[in-house]
Amino acid sequence: MDAMDTARAVVTALRDSGVQHVVIGPGSRSAPLVYALAEVADQKRLHLHVRIDERSAAFTALGISLASGRPAAVVTTSGTATGNLMPAMMEAAHADIRLVAVTADRPTEIQSTGANQTTDQRDLFGVHARTSITVTGDAANFAKTHASVMGALAVGAGNASSPTGPVHVNARFREPLIPEPDELTVSPGAETGVLPVITAPQSQPRFTSDQRWHNRGHSYQEELVEATDLRERHTVVVAGHGAGPVAHDFAMALGLPLFAEPSSNARFSRNAIAAYPYLLGSDGGLGQQAHRLGGHIRRIVLFGRPTLSRQLQGLLKRDDVKSALYHPQPVGWFTPGARKEQLIGDLQGLAEFAGSGPPGWLGSWQSAAQRAQRALEQALTARQQTVGKPGAMRTAQLVSATALGQLVLGSSSVIRDVDLSWRPPAEPTSTVFAHRGLAGIDGTVSTASGISLATGERTTLMVGDLTFLYDTNGLLIGPTEQEPNLDIVVINDSGGAIFHGLEHGEVAERPGMSSVVERFFGTPHTVDIGALCAAHGIKHERLTSEQQLIHVLGDPTAGRRVLEVVSDRSQRPQVHAAVQTAVRATFV
């Protein structure tokens, strides 16, 4: 087959495998794929996006797949362009996201000859791709190439023994790279108009309140405990990243306290314990608080992947606590046998392990959480009144409580501030997304853009300034491209804030070490974010009060805005200390 025939076979397989969005990075070697995509692109089945930076393109596709539950593809030319997909492929591998990397390659006969822009792209992503294939068109036909690509995407869909995840399709093209003059027909304006909202398949539901299990017309409580004699145990439910509402429903059915990370999408209603990291203490042990909270924790039921707090990690490591992990299907973030939790694949067996909460167990946690949350909010309010602006933790709390629709949280300090301060709502008000596969700051702006494009809903992204600056190319969207509906809240404290909360903050207190920690970990900068936004033609507002922040977020507009909140990074340790002191006082 020639280059165009091979490209058409690849594109047909992508569409037949459920790909509805393809993000394209410009290049010549990938031209056959671009022309083949342009032939079949339309509003209903296949929509194309163009991004200049391949890393941004990959994370845009990752965001689309993350929000839709469907495979999304990124197409690049050969050479270093392919290497720029690695960060997104790594995140997708550890978060079970169906990202499809389609890389154009040079033909076989010029490999290893020193030819321009030629490297060995076979298996380029190694262990981070569920499978990798190279198609050449040599001595092949359309059906075989189509079947090969379909097979690769089927592997990415996962099965009973393998998790979902990213795949790599490497296509070697021999010149000519363009169609014959009368061969290509593209309808002008085929992609204009508003895209329909993509609905995720039932196997990977988006976490909205109307999809929760207990709203499906039957009693979840009865389903769990039917014909089961549940013992009363001091058990807690931990909902890590990606746990989903099933963790909430499980805790509700058995009367157990729920410690839910923001991106678990289980952090709502009365069983979700506010300010739980403060209640657990520094090492996960309850210490003197145990008696006041109704006794020691004896068992943990874990849903999803906990990644945020050292308090939870300390709790999970305790030798005197038994733990079980809900594991109904393979996942990419751990290998069975590598963690100490007992793996249980059915909810009935999990309920028998957990037991039900004894009288007063849940109520004592709820009472402690109410006192702790009240003290936390009073401490933050007092701090805001003193300095005259919200600050990082207060902004994190306000945005998480105010945002509706899609909420994307940057890694590092932002998501941890939300975990500490976000009061669980009675009902879920947003679907929370975050990079927790590898917890990197790569491509966060692009991922949020992809989430907005996939859902068709207003999306709020909250990030620190370094996370924002690390993906400023995510702002670069051409005038012919569909623009996401996206609010980007940037907490700007002119550097890396998370390190003050780690061991490096203690090192900075030693004589002569403050400047060392500031330079190499704080990484200060003086970027004018307003000017940067102006260069990209994006609206920018600097918000200086809580009321202004709430008002602006409650008044969304079409397109993209950057909302900057200036924070003093040097004051973060004092803020956290004041909150800890206020919470601790509630146990006196």
pLDDT tens-digit map of 30-41: 999 999 999 999
For residue 360, being part of any structural domain is answered with yes
For residue 376, being part of any structural domain is answered with no
Distances (CA, A) of 66 to 171, 435, 489, 560: 25, 10, 21, 20
For residue 392, being part of any structural domain is answered with yes
Average pLDDT (564-588) is 86
Are 110 and 255 in the same domain? Answer: no
Among residues 126, 154, 172, which one ends one of the domains? 172
d(CA 217, CA 213): 9
String of DSSP letters for 145-163: HHHHHHHHHHHHT-BTTB-
Are 359 and 397 in the same domain? Answer: no
Q: Is the pLDDT of residue 538 over 90?
A: yes
Report residue 531's pLDDT band, with 50, 70 and 90 as the boundaries.
very high
Bridge partners, residue 159, by sequence: 162
Are 151 and 223 in the same domain? Answer: no
Average pLDDT (51-66) is 98
Each residue of 118-130: pLDDT tens digit?
899 999 999 999 9
Q: Which amino acid is at 59?
A: F
Are 332 and 395 in the same domain? Answer: no
Are 359 and 215 in the same domain? Answer: yes
Domain range spanning residue 163?
Answer: 3-172
Report the Cα 102 to chain-centroid distance in Å.
22
Contact 78, 106 (CB under 8 A): yes
Are 135 and 257 in the same domain? Answer: no
pLDDT number for residue 208: 36
Are 65 and 127 in the same domain? Answer: yes
Q: Which amino acid is at 169?
A: V
Query: What does R_g of the chain's alpha carbons equal in angstroms?
Result: 25
Percent of the chain with pLDDT over 90: 66
d(CA 554, CA 575): 27
Is the bond preceding 425 in cis, omega lying within 30 degrees of 0? no
Report residue 1's pLDDT band, with 50, 70 and 90 as the boundaries.
confident
Q: State pTM to two decimals.
A: 0.90
d(CA 86, CA 265): 27
Report residue 219's pLDDT band, with 50, 70 and 90 as the boundaries.
very low
For residue 378, being part of any structural domain is answered with no
d(CA 249, CA 243): 11
Mean predicted lDDT score pLDDT of the chain: 87
Of 172 and 195, the structure prediction assigns the larger pLDDT to: 172
For residue 412, being part of any structural domain is answered with yes
pLDDT number for residue 446: 98
String of DSSP letters for 406-469: EEEE-TTHHHHHHHHH-PPPSS--EEEEE--SS---TTHHHHHHHHHHHH-S-EEEEEEHHHHH
d(CA 521, CA 387): 25
Q: What is the helix (H) or strand (E) element at residue 381, kind and residue range? A: helix 361-387
Contact 265, 408 (CB under 8 A): no
pLDDT number for residue 296: 78
Are 312 and 228 in the same domain? Answer: yes
Are 67 and 12 in the same domain? Answer: yes
For residue 413, being part of any structural domain is answered with yes
String of DSSP letters for 332-344: SS--TTSSSSEEE
| Residue 217 backbone dihedrals phi, psi, to 5 degrees | 90, 10
What's 308's domain CATH number? Answer: 3.40.50.1220
Q: Is the pLDDT of residue 200 over 50?
A: no
Report residue 250's pLDDT band, with 50, 70 and 90 as the boundaries.
very high
Domains identified in the chain, total number: 3
Each residue of 65-117: pLDDT tens digit?
999 999 999 999 999 999 999 999 999 999 999 999 999 999 888 888 988 88
Each residue of 476-520: pLDDT tens digit?
999 999 999 999 999 998 777 666 666 666 777 788 888 887 788
Residue 496, helix vs strand vs coil: coil
| Apex 66 CA angle, 11 and 530, nearest 5 | 105
Query: Helix, strand, coil: what percent of the chain each, to 5?
Result: 40, 15, 40
Each residue of 450-486: pLDDT tens digit?
999 999 989 999 999 999 999 999 999 999 999 999 9
For residue 204, being part of any structural domain is answered with no
> Tokens representing 233?
């145990």
pLDDT number for residue 224: 61
pLDDT number for residue 225: 53
Q: What is the helix (H) or strand (E) element at residue 214, kind and residue range? A: none
Answer positive or negative: Cα dihedral of 248, 371, 409, 94. negative
Report residue 189's pLDDT band, with 50, 70 and 90 as the boundaries.
very low
Report residue 176's pLDDT band, with 50, 70 and 90 as the boundaries.
confident
Percent of the chain with pLDDT over 70: 87
Are 568 and 429 in the same domain? Answer: yes
For residue 383, being part of any structural domain is answered with no
pLDDT number for residue 499: 64
Among residues 142, 172, 202, which one ends one of the domains? 172
Are 551 and 403 in the same domain? Answer: yes
Are 303 and 398 in the same domain? Answer: no
pLDDT number for residue 385: 79
What's 88's domain CATH number? Answer: 3.40.50.970
Average pLDDT (271-291) is 70
Each residue of 364-403: pLDDT tens digit?
999 999 999 999 999 999 888 787 788 899 999 999 999 9
